[in-house]
Chain A
Amino acid sequence: MAVAGQLAVAAVRAKSLQPALLVARTLGAAVIIVVEAIGVALLIDRFGGLGGWATGDVLLLVGIGEAGLGFGLLVGDTLEPPAFSLLVREGRLDSLLVRPVPVLLSVVTSDVQVREVGRGAAGIGVALWGAWQADVDWTPARAAVAVMAVVCCAVIVLAVLLLGAASTLYTVEGSEFVNAFTYGGAALAANPLQIYSSALRFLFLWVVPFGLAVYVPSLHVLDRTGPPGIPASLLVVTPLATVAFATVAGLAWRRGVRHYASTGS
């Protein structure tokens, strides 16, 4: 783990060589999220709620989703389709493969997008703003559930990126298809699941479990029982589903590396 820390510090230091640029980008990432959240708030205020949820309730969802996406991208940005595809095509992956540490560690620390901290922090801010509007009674249990939601969401974002990177090891050309699930998934999970069709609900609960990571914990924080079919008691499944999804992604990655090693392209 000491190695991981050293590699991460080096990556962050490389980014902080231009502090003004870094601050501008981080602030920019944060401002985008806040402006989007204000847009959502205005829209829902105008229509008096979304699927029975008030503005504050939805902002809590938006905030948790964006925070998870921000922290997920902070760690896994190098796995994103264009960046990772370039890493493979330029042969830099070969250099990383001959290091005595897990190649995934070398890949994610080869470039860390520190600006995503802005997105993560803004997400937390939006979630707190929503919770304040929704008059959430912050017990330690609810706070813990909210933190778990952000962590699980970040892990799922990472797992989706890892699946995409694994597929890039097969195709070399990165597919933007993955972004539909990272950015798209986080955005869709930011709405109350009851407004979606049963197919979409199923997708976000049991295939790419953003719903379990964001929506279900939010039910607890907001002290709601949940719509039919999505009871708040599903919370116990959230960490399990997250771990399961991440495991599948990890196995796919290992297969991808082995495939790369047998084709070299």
Chain B
Amino acid sequence: MIEAQGLTKEFRTRRRRSVAVAGIDLSIEAGEFVGYAGPNGAGKSTTVKMLTGILVPTSGTVTVDGLVPWKQRRLLAARIGVVFGQRTSLWWDLPLSRSFELVRHLYRVPPADHARRLASLVELLELGPQLDQPVRSLSLGQRMRAELAAAVLPAPRVLFLDEPTIGLDVEAKAAVRGFLAELNQTEGTTVVLTTHDVDDLTRLCRRLLVIDHGRLIHDGAVEDLPRLFGGHRVLVVDLLEDRTLEVPGARLVRDEGLRRWFEFSPAELSAPELVARVLAEVEVRDLTLEEPDIEDVVRRIYRGEVSEPTPPPRSSGAAPGGARGDPPRTGW
């Protein structure tokens, strides 16, 4: 469905050149649900813009559903859906139902098909009460569900999502994720999900691509995910008084003032059990469970923890090939 070889994008300004995407090879089959992750400025959005035809690659080849995106942008647009998390493709001042009607005209969906599909999407995404409201009055969560409905209405073969859960609360994230999983399963829609959110990846994707400094540093199946994310979590403990604290089964990794960071492995020690052990020892002001973030994942990949069968203890392992020197970052 998506093929890319040596896909590269350089941005030139008067002063200097920066390489946003530095030669990516990709092959994504129809029906896959692929997570595309990486730190800010790693080249995620730039890649998606090349796959959707918004940007012309500097070099390399790319096809999506047999089309060359930048040459056949409009043709491709009819077959794909794109959701940019921080932009709207809806008509801001008009009732939501009007946006859906305009999408029908834009994509020339036959009225009967449209009505049937819209009805099921509205039910699935619980948008009924919002149909008559102007888009600008919707909450962020409601709007994102509406964006998804609009993107999916024309039954795209590929759905590109750029940070669709950014800024959403837990409930809204769950709604978006549930919908995407269902869409991928029932319709076989190929989904490319760009995200910063580790939860999005672990809950949705069957394959994970990690990009950093414009290069793919990991391309692995769902089996790698526990090793990538599941290995460790961190409990942050705010103490009432400064004292030493040791908890069996967890490792103190940071210590600042009254705050302690304990790393633990959920497979060996559950979070409630750890909390119980901490509370048995001391009185605390606050407890926070930190989710692993994508930067952690990138660090683990560089440390070689991903390709090893068992995660080695924190030790050697600088970046392969010194790739982290002088990062050619371009902000998106």
Which A residues fall within an 8 A CB radius of B? Answer: 2-3, 6-7, 10, 13-14, 17, 90-92, 94-95, 97-102, 258, 261-265
A10 and B11 in contact, given A2-B105, A94-B84, A261-B56 (Cβ under 8 angstroms)? no
Which B residues fall within an 8 A CB radius of A? Answer: 9, 11-12, 46, 49, 52-56, 58, 70, 73-75, 77-78, 80, 82, 84, 86-89, 91-94, 98, 101-102, 105-108, 134
> In the complex, what residues of B have CB within 8 A of residue A2's CB?
105
A3 to B154, CA, bound (A): 15
Task: Point out the residue from B55, B56, B74, B88 that lies within 8 Å of A100, measured CB to CB.
Answer: B74
A90 to B86, CA, bound (A): 10
Given contacts A17-B93, A264-B49, 7 further A-B contacts (CB under 8 A): A3-B106, A3-B108, A10-B91, A92-B87, A94-B54, A97-B52, A98-B80
> In the complex, what residues of A have CB within 8 A of residue B70's CB?
261
Question: Closest CB-CB distance, B100 to chain A, in whole Å?
Answer: 12
Check A265 against B87 for contact (C-beta < 8 Å).
no
A79 to B290, CA, bound (A): 47
Check A94 against B78 for contact (C-beta < 8 Å).
no
Question: Closest CB-CB distance, A263 to chain B, in whole Å?
Answer: 7
Q: Which of A95, A102, A258, A264 has the most CB of B within 10 A?
A: A264
A–B pairs, 15, beta carbons within 8 Å: A3-B105, A10-B98, A10-B102, A14-B93, A94-B54, A97-B53, A97-B73, A98-B54, A98-B82, A101-B106, A258-B56, A261-B53, A261-B54, A262-B56, A264-B55
A10 to B91, CA, bound (A): 8
Q: Which of A14, A91, A94, A101 has the most CB of B within 10 A?
A: A94
- With both beta carbons as reference points, the residue of chain A lying nearest to B81 in the complex is identified as A98
Check B74 against A101 for contact (C-beta < 8 Å).
yes
- With both beta carbons as reference points, the residue of chain A lying nearest to B151 in the complex is identified as A98
4 shortest A-B CB distances, which residue pairs?
A100-B78, A14-B93, A100-B77, A6-B105
> In the complex, what residues of A have CB within 8 A of residue B86's CB?
91
Question: Closest CB-CB distance, A57 to chain B, in whole Å?
Answer: 44
> In the complex, what residues of B have CB within 8 A of residue A3's CB?
105-106, 108
A13 to B99, CA, bound (A): 12
> In the complex, what residues of A have CB within 8 A of residue B58's CB?
262
> In the complex, what residues of B have CB within 8 A of residue A17's CB?
93, 134
Check B87 against A91 for contact (C-beta < 8 Å).
yes
Check B106 against A264 for contact (C-beta < 8 Å).
no
- With both beta carbons as reference points, the residue of chain A lying nearest to B330 in the complex is identified as A264
A90 to B84, CA, bound (A): 12
Question: Closest CB-CB distance, B279 to chain A, in whole Å?
Answer: 47
- With both beta carbons as reference points, the residue of chain B lying nearest to A263 in the complex is identified as B11
Question: Closest CB-CB distance, A73 to chain B, in whole Å?
Answer: 20
- With both beta carbons as reference points, the residue of chain B lying nearest to A11 in the complex is identified as B91
> In the complex, what residues of A have CB within 8 A of residue B94's CB?
10, 13-14
